[in-house]
Amino acid sequence: MHTLAQLRSGELAGSRRLKLSADLCEFPEEIYSLVDTLEVLDLSGNQLTDLPGDLHRFSQLKILFASDNQFEHIPEGVGLCRSLTMVGFKHNKIRDVSATCLPPNVRWLILTDNCISQLPGNFGNLSALEKLMLAGNRLTALPNSISRLNTLGLLRISANQFDVFPDQLLELPNLAWLAFSGNPFCPRHESHHNVLTVARGDLEMGDVLGRGASGVISRAYWQSAPAGIDPDVAVKVFHGGVTSDGYPQDELDACLSVAPHPNLVTALAQVTEPGFDALVMKLIPHDYSNLGQPPSLGSCTRDTFTAGQALSRELADCLIKQMTSLVEHLEATQICHGDVYAHNTLINADGHLLFGDFGAASRYHNLTDAQQAGIRKIERRALGYFIEDMEGLVNLGCATIRPC
């Protein structure tokens, strides 16, 4: 975090990154001192309602974050900044998206949790767009021009007001990660009477194991666990409200709707008490680690991997076989996971794969046969990218493992 005092003193002269969060109501003039060098500007967590019309003067600016402010529109100055490739206006009050407010070369656009009811008709002119986050708005339809977004790989339209599934999405040639739950056209949640229900007080919560967009996962002790179930468990407590992928309640519904599979993190029970929705899961052994890392600002929609990471031919084939089996299983359950990625995948030394994180999952059994086939094609495209990544990591000199 930086301060205006640092800008005024010249301490930040020549900086490429600037993050200011100080209840700002206006764009500080002091930022112009970085007009020739600034590449990343983060003004999230302020009280801003507008930005200057001459943002294009920041000739090196590539990334603009303005989340958690008071914007009711996307400032026109943003659209004039041709150098911008990533723009984030999450959790504002945006109602209007004009035909000229978006930068023509944007690759990653985040408009999650706003009040947007319509996108401009020329939205399809954003020919470089790869990742589009629209969950938590008031959209009822998408412009026909969206079918021209040939580079779009990831799309989130969950928690909107679509009465019908937008068929334009089925024409997109590179769409691989799609979330659409929480819309009027989606099926109602299942009752899940077959799933055990646990009282909150029966879970002795322990250390936090991880945090995600939809909740916090902690170690817990299930004090009255049924016979045959290890009482040492993991519990995911869901946040309220909308996330970048949609509603947490849709994640819980999708997760509990999937039949068991050897490569899925095992769901054991649920907690449904006022203000406390949680999922009880089998605790993952310590010897499992992440297969991949999340996409970077540069890779946009594609996973990244640690330097020097390599797979044997045997291990790559083993992982591909398991992930293919899992995607086939989800297809049979008519659930689109929406996030088939290596960074959501855990593996152990024997090459066993565990997969979870249903935050972007969507159930689709109520859609037409053609729509269901299109959704399966999109998910298979994500599987294809996973296979491509595994093939890219193959190194025949790497030590082999026991066969799966």
How do strand 196-197 and strand 177-179 relate by DSSP bridges? unpaired
User: Could you tell me which of 79, 88, 186, 182 has the C-alpha nearest to residue 137?
Assistant: 182
3-state helix, strand, coil in the chain (%, to 5): 25, 20, 55
Q: Is 236 marked within a binding site?
A: yes
Query: Buried (b) or exposed (e) across 184-213, using 16+ Cβ within 10 A?
Result: eebeeeeebeebeebeeeebeeeeeeeebb
CA 356 vs CA 251, 252, 272, 342: distances in Å: 11, 12, 20, 11
Contact 245, 213 (CB under 8 A): yes
Up-side HSE of residue 277: CA atoms within 13 Å toward CB? 14
Largest distance between two CA atoms of the chain: 67
Helix (H) or strand (E) holding 214: none
Q: What is the secondary structure of 58-83 as a DSSP string?
A: -TT--EEE--SS--SB--HHHHT-TT
Q: What angle do CA 118, 298, 50 make, to 5 degrees?
A: 40
Q: Which residues pair with 83 in a beta bridge?
A: none
Work out the angle between the directed axes of helices 369-392 and 313-333 (0-180°, nearest 10). Answer: 170
Type of residue at 371: Q
Binding site feature residues for ATP? 236
Q: Which residue numbers belong to the known binding site? A: 236
